[in-house]
Amino acid sequence: MKLCIETAEPCDGEELRTLLIDAAEQLLGAGNALLEAKLPWDGHPILFADASGHPVLISFDPEQGQSALLNGLRTSEQLASALPWINQVYEALAGRQLPVRLVVVSRDYPPGSRAILSACPLLTLFRYRILNINGETGLWLERMDDASDTPRHDDASDTPRPEPQPALECAPEPDGGSTPPAPGAALPSLSDEETAFFQQL
């Protein structure tokens, strides 16, 4: 059978959301779990758990890389503040209290991407193109690698990136200067109202 691949017109946000969820293994590696398909914050990002137990926020915008990045940073801060409770609600996180990873996807990388990546080891940047493959819509993803001057194509066969060091996380500290509970520490129990809130995000 002849393989016909053509570039397609940019898609809207909801179509891109569906394609990104379908491409989760390409973005996050094997063993990930979808926690929330549409969070109720700026840009309505997607929340996953990766195989290591990190919460992973996928912030995206069909055209504006800067908007995707800023929305993702704001939501990462909100998730970091609620991390003890989020770990109780979602079993896939296994209560490990690991910091939030941020994945940003847009048609083009946001301005200043190289400098941002060098300072934020828990951030991954992708750009995408929509393809038409024998009449079917497909998603092509390219990841920016902070160790190289040129972006590289990313697929499911790539070697996983080394686990980032939580101490170097660039997400803003939660207000109040409180220190997150150490892994394994006892966590406050959620009220019925709090549990319902996180389950209905």
- Residue 194: enclosing H or E segment and its boundaries? helix 192-199
Mean pLDDT of the chain: 80
Q: Is residue 56 part of a domain?
A: yes
* Domain of 22, in residue numbers: 13-128
Q: Is residue 170 part of a domain?
A: no
| Strand extents, DSSP E, the chain | 5-7, 33-36, 46-49, 55-61, 101-106, 123-133, 136-143, 152-153
Q: Is residue 6 part of a domain?
A: no
Q: Is residue 197 part of a domain?
A: no
Q: What does each of the 201 residues of the chain score in pLDDT, given as a tens digit?
A: 687 888 888 789 999 999 999 999 999 999 999 999 999 999 999 999 999 999 999 999 999 999 999 999 999 999 999 999 999 999 999 888 999 999 999 999 999 999 999 999 999 999 999 998 888 899 999 999 854 444 444 433 333 444 433 333 344 444 444 444 454 444 455 666 656 666 665
The pLDDT tens digits of the residues spanning 135-194 come to 889 999 999 985 444 444 443 333 344 443 333 334 444 444 444 445 444 445 566 665
- Closest C-alpha to 27, from 168, 165, 163, 161: 161
Q: Is residue 152 part of a domain?
A: no
Q: Is residue 183 part of a domain?
A: no
Burial class (CB in 10 A: 0-12, 13-18, 19+), 52: middle
- Residue 19: enclosing H or E segment and its boundaries? helix 13-22
The pLDDT tens digits of the residues spanning 155-170 come to 333 334 444 333 333 4
First to last CA, the chain: 45
Question: CATH number of the domain that 90 lies in?
Answer: 3.40.1350.10
Q: Which residues of 20-47 are buried (b: 16+ CB within 10 A; e: fewer)?
A: beebbebbbbeebbebbeebebbbbbbb
Q: Is residue 186 part of a domain?
A: no
Q: Is residue 18 part of a domain?
A: yes
Total structural domains in the chain? Answer: 1
Q: Distance (Å, rounded) from C-alpha 87 to C-alpha 66?
A: 29
Q: Distance (Å, rounded) from C-alpha 55 to C-alpha 125?
A: 16
Contact (CB, 8 A) for 63 and 106: yes
